[in-house]
Structure 1
Amino acid sequence: MDILSSQIVTDRISELPDEILVDCLSLLDMKSTAQTSIISRRWRYLWTHLSTLDFDPELTYPEEFETFSKNEKYETTKYFAWINQVVSVHRGTSIDKFRVHSRYVTSYATQLDKWVQFAFSKRVKELVLNLIGINLICIDHSEKGYPLGFETLRYPPCYTGITAIQSLHLCYVNVSDEFLEFLMSHCHHLERLYLQAIPLSNLKVKSSKLKYLSIVMCFSDLEELEIDAENLLYFLYDDAKREGGPHMVFRCVPKLVETDFRGGLCQFPFPIFEKLSLFSGQLCKLSLDIDPNWKTYETDLAIPEGVIPSFPNLKQFTCTTICYDSSCILALKRFIEACPNLEELKMQIIYMQNDGYCEADVLREIDLDENLQPEINFSSGHDMEIGHVPDTVTGNMNEEKSSHQNLRILEVVGFLGVECDTRLILAIINYACSLKTVICDPQGIRYSHTPFDNFTDAPNEHDAAKRRARQLAKIVEPKVKVVVI
């Protein structure tokens, strides 16, 4: 009986329509999907109809991902061959996503041309060419990256297929300003554009459909950027400059509600605020990577009064800053005052340790007295031994007329429990009368020995920082809840 029953058992999965089976396969990574061809004759070619072709070595070969980005021979013989094989047997009529993540190898530019032509001829909706490898440090700045231009589109199906693209992500690809402008004018459904390590000079972004625009670490000198995008919702700009930035013109951005700025525009004397003043009234979410001028670290660190525009509708603000001394409290207070409806504030603090640029008290641990009352009055002077903070910071922080009514959540990433961040938290608790939660996250603790060094993590400080955060909680609770991550 058991033998008879086993003979009539059917494979219910294989009875499903091809369309459903292909959808199921799309949930797997490329390597696992190809392996399903051995299940049965019915399954042999199903994977060749996939609409998502994500050639991500980190997912497919996680144990070998680092080799992919450092060993040119390994890349060219295995990774490129893998993509060529899939492209040659693909039978689908269209592609939703085509993604390549590999360090660019000059001798294989022709291969990349064929892949791009293949993707466009299949009317790809999302194209990702990430040719940086593990990180930006791996690339050769003497090169300009993979050359993508009008020659690549001469293949007729490729030229007509570009109109279907909705998302374009280019990293370390040598494209001209003219070619990008051509794509934006012909890709009528393009909603997302991400550019990283692209040799830009004078770019005009004009699109009626574009919603998300990111320009990151374009290491050549971008002199002018003009944006005319009536449906743009999000804009990220991050350059490698130490001072200044490109001339930016915002022609038409009536729906822009979220921005993220890093690099030269956010350095002293903070030209970013002049740019933001053009549309500050409509922003709901803002991220800034503020880096004061390290050469004038004493008094010029504080953002000058009157520089920050008003942000009446801003709800969320994320600020990453290098901490040189306690004057960052004054700068932050001025920004909060400009955001009357701010509800969530996130601070990422990076600490300077070089004696030439950092006050010693900034990294000095504070002896918190557990018997202190939650309401700490800075202006009256407290017997808590903490370093000097300018009177302009402490004088008006507790006056009712200058209190903030809507700030509910404060998150400090890189919390150490030392002079700078503890003083900052206590000041905001007194200043923001509606504050309910303070999140202390020591996981992001980072140091910089000089203004231009790479930042390094400090895992040994995590336990000590958590202990100090719990001490802080005993002082400020129950008025404010302290969450230690």
Structure 2
Amino acid sequence: MEKTSEKVDKGGLCLEDHISGLPDVVIVSILSLLTMKEAGRTSLLSKRWRYMWTHITGLNFDALHVIYEVLLGNKELEVERPLYLSWVNQVLKLYNGPSIDQFRVQFDLDESCRFDIDNWVNFAIEKRVKRLELDFPVSWGSTGYNFPDTGRITNHLHSLSLGFTICNSLTNLLLAHVNVTGQVLEYFLTNCPFLEQLSVEASDCLVNLKVPNVSIKLKCLEIIYCHYVESIEISAMNLVSFKYFGPKIGLPFKNLQEPVEMYIGGEYCKYLIYNFLGISSYLSQLESLTLHMNSIKNSIGLAKFPVFNKLKQLELRISAIENEDLMVFAPLIEACPFLYKFVLELQLSKFVRRKRRRFTSRPHQYLKVVEFIGFAGLAIDVELAMYLIKSAVMLEKITFDPRNPLLIGSPWEFMETKEKKTARKRAKYLGTKLPAGVALVIL
């Protein structure tokens, strides 16, 4: 590549093209900030720009918008899938960069695409990829990528097809809606010594996983919506973040330092809530905790919590019906004396109206930021909001967001409903209960 400058004749005036005068490495950096299709369009600017985009460091083949169009009935998967395969293959054929920072594929691909997928993975590894992401969400039924319980296409990634022994470049591996076994994951962990993040979502083939002690660089492990997991053993000494949503398993931690961030959901969440005291030694350094459960009933009961002296952020992701009681989480909030931020993400599955219950509150000296996502303005969440308004004596900001959590990021995210309007009215009412100086945000 060479450094040149060009002049453009516009209306009899000769204007110098300062962008084309920049060094190639700077232009490539700028193009890397664009989407793949935007970067590709710059090839029409001039001869110099024709192949400039083929050196960008990030190959992001995100086509989630097409999947939404299929869901809406505006496009057909049988037509779009071959077009997607052709697009990716054509870009890889033209690519001239020596290495890539990110290789991301996101589209509804099935077993018939295995040959292409294997070639893409091998291409990325040969280009010394740092961040490899494969995401194959389905495009029928619901949005599919949130709770992939049924109707999942079987996509397999086999270790025999990977074609590499050692990959010193890979730092992040994310596999979503890819049926991958524990054996394959251990293959990556063993042969990618600098892997820092491993994320697996919605794999029906994952049953047992052992994270070997050779994974000294691994900092973040995420295993979510893998509903057939039976055991996980982690020996990664430097792990600081553990995210798990799935069936009940034994304590996964072995020979490692206490995690700083934890996300726990599914059946394992209920088990953990009743066993927090038994594993408190593993939680002494915890700064961020997210609990994700599909129901409140029988999930808290008489559970006792250790004191989380370092916890700064607590997030509850709850699916519930209106007559359930979020106030059962008050003891957990009070067990976090230095909590700075509290987030509730509420998904109401059924409306059974009831009256608000009375409660007592204890002063909380450090809680300053509160967020309600999926705020309905009903007894179930208004009670908790009032509790936090009264107890958080140093509160600085409270946000009420009436959007359905499952629809955030989708075309239906901002669809206006009667329920949202009602929720905003209730949020305004709660705003009148705030002390002077507290910022109220209603989305």
TM > 0.5 between the two? yes
Q: Write the distance in 1 (CA, Å) between the matches of 2:101 and 2:294.
A: 40
1:378 aligns to what? none
Match of 1:174 among 164, 179, 192: 179
Letter in 1 for 2:216: S
Q: Write the distance in 1 (CA, Å) between the matches of 2:190 and 2:270.
A: 34
Q: Write the distance in 2 (CA, Å) between the matches of 1:105 and 1:417.
A: 42
The answer as to 2:347 corresponding to 1:350 is: yes
1:425 aligns to what? 385
Q: Write the distance in 1 (CA, Å) between the matches of 2:398 and 2:255.
A: 38
The answer as to 2:59 corresponding to 1:53 is: yes
Q: Write the distance in 1 (CA, Å) between the matches of 2:342 and 2:263.
A: 14
2:239 aligns to what? 232
Q: Write the distance in 2 (CA, Å) between the matches of 1:181 and 1:69.
A: 41
Match of 1:463 among 421, 432, 442: 421
**1:34-65 per-position Cα deviation (integer Å, ceiling 9, x unaligned):** 22223222222222222211111247x69857
Output aligned runs, 1:212-251, within 5 Å: 212-219=220-227, 221-239=228-246, 241=247, 245-251=248-254
Q: Write the distance in 2 (CA, Å) between the matches of 1:484 and 1:311.
A: 30
Q: Write the distance in 1 (CA, Å) between the matches of 2:292 and 2:330.
A: 16
The answer as to 2:167 corresponding to 1:146 is: no
Q: Write the distance in 1 (CA, Å) between the matches of 2:232 and 2:356.
A: 44
Q: Write the distance in 1 (CA, Å) between the matches of 2:72 and 2:406.
A: 27
Shift of 1:148: 2.8
Which has more helix, going by share of residues? 1
Output aligned runs, 1:177-192, within 5 Å: 177-192=182-197
**1:245-293 per-position Cα deviation (integer Å, ceiling 9, x unaligned):** 1223211442521111111122378456367634222111111123446
Structure 2 runs not aligned, ≥5 long: 1-8, 408-414
Q: Write the distance in 2 (CA, Å) between the matches of 1:290 and 1:35.
A: 45
CA separation of 1:65/1:28 partners in 2, compared to 1, >3 Å: closer, same or farther?
Answer: farther
1:403 aligns to what? 363
2:6 aligns to what? none
Normalised by the size of structure 2, how large is the TM-score? 0.83
Shift of 1:203: 0.4
Letter in 2 for 1:304: L
Shift of 1:133: 4.0
The answer as to 2:344 corresponding to 1:339 is: no
3-state SS of 1:27 partner: coil
Letter in 2 for 1:411: E
Shift of 1:130: 0.8
CA contact (8 A) 1:266 1:291 kept: no
Determine which structure has more spread, i.e. the larger CA radius of gyration: 1
3-state SS of 2:50 partner: coil
Match of 2:282 among 279, 285, 302: 279
Normalised by the size of structure 1, how large is the TM-score? 0.76
CA contact (8 A) 2:28 2:52 kept: yes
Letter in 2 for 1:312: N
1:320 aligns to what? 317
CA contact (8 A) 1:301 1:327 kept: no
Letter in 2 for 1:335: L
RMSD of aligned Cα (Å): 3.4
CA separation of 1:408/1:30 partners in 2, compared to 1, >3 Å: closer, same or farther?
Answer: closer
CA separation of 1:461/1:94 partners in 2, compared to 1, >3 Å: closer, same or farther?
Answer: same
Range 112-121 or range 465-474, more displaced: 465-474
CA separation of 1:164/1:467 partners in 2, compared to 1, >3 Å: closer, same or farther?
Answer: same
Count of aligned pairs: 419
2:270 aligns to what? 267
1:87 aligns to what? 92
